[in-house]
Amino acid sequence: MYGLVEDLGSAYWGCNRTGFQHQNRKSRKRELRFWAAYFNEYSSNFETYYFGVRARALIAFVSDVVTIVASQMITHWLDWKSIDPKKRVTYGWYYVILVHIVTWIYAWIIQGEYTTSPPMLDYSSPEFVKRAFALFLWSFAQQTVENWLHYFVGSLTDNIAELTRLTGILRGQESFDEAVPCGLNSRNWYGGRVPMAVNTILLGLCIIPTWIVVHRHAPQETQEKLSEPQSNPGTDNSGMKATHTVEPNKAS
């Protein structure tokens, strides 16, 4: 019995050691050397600072609808089979950048107004929609980039074991990077400009390395199409020329 337990323990640790080594190799892949994360955790503080309880309840409900709409828009494009997978990834990245530019410009404008005169808004306040729209844009942008990132990682391989490891690395990076703004938001910064500036800078640093990865990326779906043998008319699957024989009519 002791020998069996010892053998099982050795096998367990051996498998784990092999898995860790394989995970380490995967983490060093060039395709994953970019900040695959969403840094903005300031939105929760933003909501708490400037909105009352009833307003936050309504914002939470509407934000769910916004994230569903964002997911539908980006996934319809990414799943459009009639378009080349490389174009889907590339133009999807352009769309993510455009959404974030619009979102952060609008958020900085609203935050600048709040720095001089911080309000406490209810959903019946005259400027509720204008101010809450920054939170809706943040939710839209976050859901958009998360959908694109998971599609990108999913296009790296068609092996389910490899896909599990790659998505685990992606989620690990996201969790690490979310800890950065959470730590910053533990202090009551004047006007919220410090965490917003850090979030904006970190997101800006993502652009160039991510573009390099996207530019060099060859989706797995494209590789499979290129590796398929192309059959020409008059040839069979092995490339041999097909011959057809016609039997002469036999007189009855």
- Give residue-wise pLDDT tens across range 147-204: 998 888 888 878 888 778 877 877 777 777 677 767 776 776 666 777 788 888 878 8
- Tell me, yes or no, whether 93 lies in a domain: yes
For residue 8, pLDDT over 50 is answered with no
Q: Is the dihedral of CA 108, 170, 136, 181 positive or negative?
A: negative
Q: Which residues, in sequence order, are CB contacts of 12 under 8 Å at separation 6+?
A: none
Using one digit for the tens of pLDDT, what is the confidence trace for 14-48?
444 555 454 455 444 544 444 444 556 678 888 88
Using one digit for the tens of pLDDT, what is the confidence trace for 55-106?
999 999 999 999 999 999 999 999 998 999 889 999 999 999 999 999 999 9
Question: Which H or E run contains 239?
Answer: none
Total number of domains in the chain:
1
- Tell me, yes or no, whether 224 lies in a domain: no
Candidates 83, 81, 66, 33; CA nearest to 214 is: 33
- Tell me, yes or no, whether 113 lies in a domain: yes
- Tell me, yes or no, whether 106 lies in a domain: yes
User: What is the C-alpha separation between 68 and 53, in angstroms, rounded?
Assistant: 23
Find out whether 71 and 143 touch, Cβ atoms under 8 Å. Answer: yes
- Tell me, yes or no, whether 237 lies in a domain: no
Residue with tokens 């994230």: 67
DSSP string, 180-194: HHHHHTTS--GGGHH
- Tell me, yes or no, whether 12 lies in a domain: no
Using one digit for the tens of pLDDT, what is the confidence trace for 103-134?
999 999 998 888 777 888 898 988 899 989 99
- Tell me, yes or no, whether 161 lies in a domain: yes
pLDDT of residue 5: 36
The first and second tokens of residue 90, run together, are 């590339």
What are the phi and psi torsion angles at 235 (to 5°)? -125, 150
User: What is the C-alpha separation between 179 and 239, in angstroms, rounded?
Assistant: 57
Q: Which domain holds residue 186?
A: 35-218
Q: Is the dihedral of CA 82, 84, 90, 91 positive or negative?
A: negative
Q: What percent of the chain has pLDDT over 90?
A: 26
User: What is the C-alpha separation between 247 and 104, in angstroms, rounded?
Assistant: 76
pLDDT of residue 7: 39
pLDDT of residue 224: 54
CB atoms within 10 A of CB 137: 22
- Tell me, yes or no, whether 247 lies in a domain: no
First and final C-alpha spacing in the chain:
82
pLDDT winner (highest mean) among 137-141, 198-202, 212-216, 247-251 = 137-141
Identify the DSSP state of 217: -
